[in-house]
Amino acid sequence: MAMHNPPHPGEFIQEVYLEPFGISSRQLSSSLGVSPSTLSRLLKKDSGVSPEMALRLSKVLGRSPESWLAMQDMYDLWMARNTVNLDDIHPLDFNAA
């Protein structure tokens, strides 16, 4: 079942971890072992969660690496469904051959 407007992982991190617990992005970037600019791009939705970042987030914030990647995939697929025009795309007919 497709999720309606799933959150970007950066938005999720901001709302579930940083804001409620008063953690700064600099604190989190230090704990993750990444530059503040790398984390900033994720929080601003300018970049996504890579497998490496998923491992880091899992270790620092919890949740499985797979759940971080799944969250990114759900967001990316939702965005694609809302932006990609498939009107001229048609399935192949495998029975016609």
Q: What CATH number has the domain bearing residue 52?
A: 1.10.260.40
Which residue range is the domain that position 55 belongs to?
A: 1-62
C-alpha span between 93 and 90 (Å, rounded): 9
DSSP state of 47: S
Q: pLDDT tier at 1 (50, 70, 90 boundaries)?
A: low
In a domain, 69, yes or no: no
- The pLDDT of residue 4: 82
In a domain, 7, yes or no: yes
Sign for the pseudo-dihedral over CA of 31, 25, 59, 66 = negative
User: What is the value of pTM for the model shown?
Assistant: 0.87
Total count of domains within the chain: 1
Q: What's the whole-number mean pLDDT along residues 43-62?
A: 98
Q: Which two tokens stand for residue 58?
A: 């899992």
In a domain, 42, yes or no: yes
Q: What's the whole-number mean pLDDT along residues 53-63?
A: 98
In a domain, 94, yes or no: no
